[in-house]
Amino acid sequence: MLAEIDTWVLDLDDTLYPSSNGLADQMKALIRGILSRHFGTDDAGARRIQAELIAAHGTTLRGLMTTEGLAAADILEFEHHIDYSVLRADALLAEAIAALPGRKFVFTNGSAYHAEQALARLGLSDHFDGVFDILAGQLIPKPYPESYRRFVEQFSIDPSRAAFFDDLAVNLDVPEQLGMATVWVGGEPAPGTAPYEVVAPRRWRVWELAPFLHSLTAPAVRPSTM
Ligand SMILES: [Mg+2]
């Protein structure tokens, strides 16, 4: 895998850090708070409206802008109420990413502000060549093809030499169609000691990101199948 890859594209939430720290729950609760206030409904009502907005518009953000005429900045203001202190510096991951050859990008359905805050807490701010956020994607989120197309154009990426990492398997379909190697970050560990499994040609599943990335650049343990 390593020999052919010179561009590393990583999702942020639930990929560069696990959802178990509660940050995602905080964000979901804050977003439901926006919906509750705007629509004058309770939490259950907010959940229902959110599901409808996501189904019709891809994200709550785009749904609120499209159907309610709200401004992105006013909606994204909730991010300033997130307690990012639940994120801890991940030295092992920082070291693994630093050792990867070539360019590295964060591709998130969140905002650049959210990415900056999270990457700073994780100790990864200096490890990426760029962040592609939901505003750079003109509010079109993964997994819509337009989102990836803008990303590839903005950073002049050769998909055949790129690897795309995401915790949502659905977000890997378009990268795969574009010719990228894809890595699904998540799920229960498979039996054995390897931090990954080969799912298909150029498709891996990884449950521990840092050890997997380390295995790509540490010659002694580099998997022969890659
Ligand atoms: Mg994610």
The answer to whether 7 touches 157, Cβ cutoff 8 Å, is yes
Q: Going from the N-terminus, what domains does the chain have, and what CATH number goes with each?
A: 7-17+88-217 (3.40.50.1000), 23-81 (no CATH)
- Amino acid found at 148: Y
Helix (H) or strand (E) holding 106: strand 103-107
Whole-number CA gyration radius for the chain: 18
Query: How many CB atoms are located within 10 Å of the residue 157 CB?
Result: 20
User: pLDDT tens-digit profile of 156-192?
Assistant: 999 999 999 999 999 999 999 999 999 999 888 888 8
Ligand 1 center from residue 220 Cα (angstroms) = 31
User: pLDDT tens-digit profile of 74-84?
Assistant: 999 999 999 99
Q: Look at 14-23, 100-109, 167-176 and tell me which has the smallest mean pLDDT.
A: 14-23
The answer to whether 184 touches 163, Cβ cutoff 8 Å, is no
Asked whether residue 26 carries a pLDDT value surpassing 70, the answer given is: yes
The answer to whether 64 touches 32, Cβ cutoff 8 Å, is no
pLDDT of residue 188: 84
User: pLDDT tens-digit profile of 111-133?
Assistant: 999 999 999 999 999 999 999 99
Ligand 1 center from residue 14 Cα (angstroms) = 5
Q: How far apart are CA 176 and CA 172, in angstroms?
A: 6
Ligand 1 center from residue 12 Cα (angstroms) = 6
Give this prediction's pTM: 0.91
Token pair listed for 189: 């560990």
Whether the upstream peptide bond of residue 143 has omega within 30° of 0, thus cis, is yes
Ligand 1 center from residue 194 Cα (angstroms) = 23
Ligand 1 center from residue 17 Cα (angstroms) = 9
Mean pLDDT for the chain?
Answer: 92
Q: How far apart are CA 197 and CA 226, in angstroms?
A: 11
Ligand 1 center from residue 11 Cα (angstroms) = 6
Asked whether residue 222 carries a pLDDT value surpassing 60, the answer given is: no
